[in-house]
Structure 1
Amino acid sequence: MAPSNSVKILELRQVAPACSSTDQSNTEFTLPLTFMDALWLKFPPAESIFFYELTESSPTVFISIILPKLITSLSRALVNFLPLAGNLIWPQDSPKPLILYTPNDAVSLTIAESSADFGRLSSNEIREAIELHPYTPELCISDTRASVLALQITLFPNQGFCISFVTHHAALDGKTTAMFIKAWAHICKQLEPGKIDQPPLLPADLIPSFDRSVIKDVAGLETEHLNYWLVMNEVVLKSNPRSLKVPPNIGGPEPSDLVRATFELSREDIKFLRKKVQSQFDRILKEDRNETKQLHLSTFVLTCAYTLASMMKARGGDGINKVFFLFSVDLRSRSLDPPIPNNYFGNCIACQHVVAGARIFTEENGLAMIAEKFSEIIKGMESRGLFEGARERLAELASLEPGTQFLGVAGSTRFDFYRSDFGWGEPEKVEIASIDRTNSVSLVESRDGMTGGVEIGLALKRHEMETFASLFVNGLKDN
């Protein structure tokens, strides 16, 4: 484990949107939360870290070249993303929170230097989960106000640097975060020396849309979502119902008791799993049901089913009666009326969940049985309605039975995080650091991007991780 003093804070800055006579950054800007935003109001902040390997990164080069370019381009990017420089507030005369940006609001930027081993931190190997904590800044959150974004840039002298993004989940989802990162990277990479006042224009797909009229609460869920958190504040968190404070973690062990590691499924591994699951499922149909049924065996379904099966076996079922697995579906790609643009800013996701009894994970054809559950949920979303069962899901979450294992998914293989080039190459590694606080599994596309592979991030107790690693590898071999 890296020593706790391996990271030294060099400077704390406030970076405001670049200002000119024609910029909207000179005026106040408000953005109401939608019912999809309200669902994440008290969820711990999302934390991601992008590691960039760069041996030509001496302190002198970092301070004189890299950092000024990153800060200048950040200021320009924020002009198009004003809510990120603002704050989440809940006015007394408002039935729900809103995001408020006022002139001179800014994003908190921590600048640090680390003597830790860059290669170790950006590797896939097993290491203490808390080793990543010094590289993510705190998001400023109080009872009455919450920052939307906090950033940290950390230099590893002559090894590289990392940029961490901490975002308030009630303000934006992963797709919006990815859009901002790409916009900042685009400006930074194209920014020419001596032409700071003439920043490159953003392509249309990287300019956010703030049109809330496209979000229709047809199921009337906004009140349900807000009431859920009001009750949580009063009963569980023992705080003011309108407090914006969030819990540090959601269930599970403390991060200090966990290790983290990354596992990869290649395109060939996915093909192998698809064949394996289909074979098991055909056997189930033949022996038990005598019927014909087609599974939806996408990369997502196979990855989640295989990871979940391996995790539950690694945990040995100790005290686990049932598994509740929550995942999100991006609605921007769905055929909705009105359609939601791909560049929509905010949360634009519908939650779904899979529930499985612990016994499934010990069954001979357990992997296929779990994959079938995911397949049924995804195939039925259009016919059932994207928000069908949302009220019941909230009620179940609020009263999970003892012995229920709660897990979620963070990230997506569709965000193209590894294409985020600020001018010094693409990331060596992308970590979704907050999985040790949210009891989640992270999914990111493989670094090479073109192979269709998946990187899976986990935070488990050490003995569980070691068992998982063995099960994960051996399960991809022909029996």
Structure 2
Amino acid sequence: MAKTLEISHVPPYSDSSNSLSDFSLPVTFCDTCWFKFPPVERLFFYSLPQPKQTFLNSTIPRLKRSLSLTLQHFLPLAGNLTWPRDSPKPIILYIPNDSVSLTVAESNAAEDFDFLAGDHAREAASFHPFIPNLKVSETGASVISVQITLFPNRGFCIGVTCHHAVLDGKSTTMFMKSWAHICRSEKSSLPPELTPFYDRSVISDPDGLDMLYVNQWLEFTKYKDPNPFQFLPSLDVPSDFVRATFELSRPDIAKLREKVSSSWNKAEKLHLTSFALTLSYMAVGILKATEEDHKLATKKQKAFLAFTVDYRNRLRPPVLENYFGNCVGWLVNYEDLREILKDQADQDALTVMAATVSDLMKKLEEDVMEGAAETLSNVLAALAEGIRGFSVAGSPRFGVYGVDFGWGKPKKVEVVSIDRTAAISMAESRDGNGGIEVGVVLKKSEMDVFSSFFLAGLETHV
């Protein structure tokens, strides 16, 4: 648990001329596709053996000031997602004196720092006290919320909750790196790669997908909650859910690639990227770990494969890498993964799953906008049927372990919200070995099965 010490509101630095006037952004179809998805919640753990008063008198003011300086570059984050009466669609609006909610808290058990920042199985709900909420009303929703929690003489964690209809994971990481850069350098300027690009005209939408998606969301939720800004209800987090982290090193991935390649006897070439192999290996393990519950369930729950891809370099013309907002799209295979692996021997399951992931990734060679009008409606239809989407939060390409505020890189980064979305998380290995770190949330009994599979599978395949 954590005790709240202070709740404040941090505005963009007031000496900036930009922060003294309104700033608005229209939402694009890449944003409205996520209009009511639950927020994304991340935790960054940092080792810092400071006593409480030193942390409160020195570190917190430094973090607050650098956050304020950073927000002058990221005004939309201090604003709200809203829908003015004279606007045909929602907008992101900052007006002077808008701010970001910042909670400062203290853990009731400082010794839990190393426990929470570990890789072993930990109760999933134990991370919730360190995550702030977004403010939602009938007139709008806040964009981000921040909580800094002290573990005296051990370290601290920064919890960031982000509205997915405003920014994707790449933009979130760019903001965190910008805040860390300004805190570390004690300068208010940003390098070009961290300076957000706001021109929405680079996202072409001749078919009006932006409002098509908004209307599909409103239709889907009209009987659940009439508030247009209310999020889709999240899954409950049972008390027996645990969270653990697994790492595939670069040699592990190379040998998985060799295993799949050697057992693939078709002329068609597979896309065996590190991401594809990691996703395939984890999917096989999780399906195996949850098989017993699936057999016992009265209503069999299907599982489909879904992940997002960055559109920045795939749209025509391409979009700048520092584009702020959402610029991602879905790749989905609605076939039941259990049926795909049915009757497959354990040693063949990885190859079959890798081929399934590869087929999805080959769609990136085509026009990524093909079929976009049906993308959201198909996903919502699957959710309505109770089909579980096996998806991925985060990416090894984000570089989250590069978010250094001046006290070293994070000891651990967690995507807390995967415990409500049934996704796994991915990040680059924190030791920089070129591997991939994967976060998994399962029932305790299922995690035991998965852990055994993960280790035994590496011995077998690797």
Shorter-chain TM-score bucket reads: over 0.9
User: For the Cα contact (< 8 Å) 2:305–2:332, is it kept in 1?
Assistant: yes
Contact 1:114–1:156, Cα closer than 8 Å, also in 2? yes
Residue of structure 2 in register with 1:289 after alignment: none
| TM superposition shift of 1:128 | 1.0
8 A contact 1:313–1:361 mirrored in 2 = no
Question: In the TM superposition, what whole-angstrom CA distance separates every residue of 1:333-366 from its partner, at most 9, and x where no partner exists?
Answer: 33x3332111101000111113343133341222
Find the counterpart in structure 2 of residue 229 from structure 1: 217
SS at match of 2:149: strand
Q: Is 1:64 aligned to residue 39 of structure 2?
A: no
Q: Is the 8 A contact 1:309 1:367 kept in 2?
A: yes
- Give the structure 1 partner of residue 78 of structure 2: 85
Aligned to 1:239: 226
Point out where structure 2 has 5 or more consecutive residues left out of the alignment: none
Indicate how the Cα distance of structure 1 residues 28 and 200 shifts in structure 2: closer, same or farther if over 3 A, else same: closer
Counterpart in the other structure of 1:307: 282
- Which contiguous aligned blocks of 4+ residues in structure 1 show a shift greater than 4 angstroms? none
Give TM-score, length-normalised by structure 1: 0.90
Structure 2 residue aligned with 1:149? 144
1:194 maps to none
Displacement, 1:276? 1.5
What does residue 318 of structure 2 align with?
A: 339
Which of 127, 134, 138 is residue 139 of structure 1 equivalent to? 134
Three-state SS of the structure 2 residue aligned to 1:478 is helix
**What residue in structure 2 maps to residue 39 of structure 1?**
33
Which residue of the partner structure matches residue 52 of structure 1? 46
Candidates 456, 473, 478, aligned match of 2:438: 456
Query: Superposed, which structure 2 residues align to 1:105-124 within 5 Å?
Result: 105-116=98-109, 117-124=112-119
Which secondary structure does the structure 2 equivalent of 1:360 belong to? helix
Q: 1:190 aligns with which of 185, 191, 202?
A: 185
Amino acid at match of 2:226: S
SS of the equivalent of 2:271 reads: coil
Aligned equivalents of 1:410, 1:218: Cα separation in 2: 29
- Number of aligned pairs? 449
Tell me by how many angstroms 1:321 deviates: 5.9
User: Deviation at 1:478?
Assistant: 2.8
Query: What is the match of residue 359 of structure 1?
Result: 339
Q: Does 1:388 align with 2:389?
A: no
Q: Normalised by the size of structure 2, how large is the TM-score?
A: 0.93
Distance in 2 between residues matched to 1:261 and 1:430, nearest whole Å? 12
Q: Which residue of 2 aligns with 1:11?
A: 6
Whether the aligned pair in 2 keeps the contact of 1:360 and 1:366 (CA below 8 Å) is: no
> Which letter maps to 2:123?
E
The CA deviation string for residues 60-100 of structure 1, in whole angstroms up to 9 with x for no partner, is 21012111111111100000000000001012332211111
Aligned partners of 1:421 and 1:331: how far apart in 2?
27
Match of 1:476 in 2: 458
* CA shift digits 1:351-384 (9 cap, x unpaired): 111334313334122221111121122123222x
What is the deviation of 1:448? 1.4
SS in 1 for 2:409: coil
Deviations 1:257-307 (A, max 9, x none): 42111111111110121112122322xx3xxxxxx1111100110011111
Given candidates 257, 267, 271, the residue that maps to 1:274 is 257
Q: Distance between the aligned counterparts of 2:352 and 2:371, measured in 1?
A: 22
8 Å Cα contact 2:283-2:390 kept in structure 1: no
* 8 A contact 1:219–1:387 mirrored in 2: no
Which residue matches 1:210?
Answer: 198
Query: Which deviations, in whole Å up to 9, do the C-alpha atoms of 1:14-48 show, x marking residues without a partner?
Result: 0000111x520000011110011001110111100
Structure 1 residues 343 and 109: alpha-carbon distance in aligned structure 2, compared to 1, 3 A threshold: same
The residue that corresponds to 1:430 in the other structure is 413
SS state at 1:442 partner: strand
Return the offset for 1:219.
Answer: 5.1
Give the % identical residues.
47
* Structure 1 contact 322–355 (Cα < 8 Å) conserved: no
**2:21 is matched with which residue: 22, 27, 35?**
27
Say what the alpha-carbon RMSD is for the aligned residues: 1.7
Choose from 70, 95, 105 the match for 1:102.
95
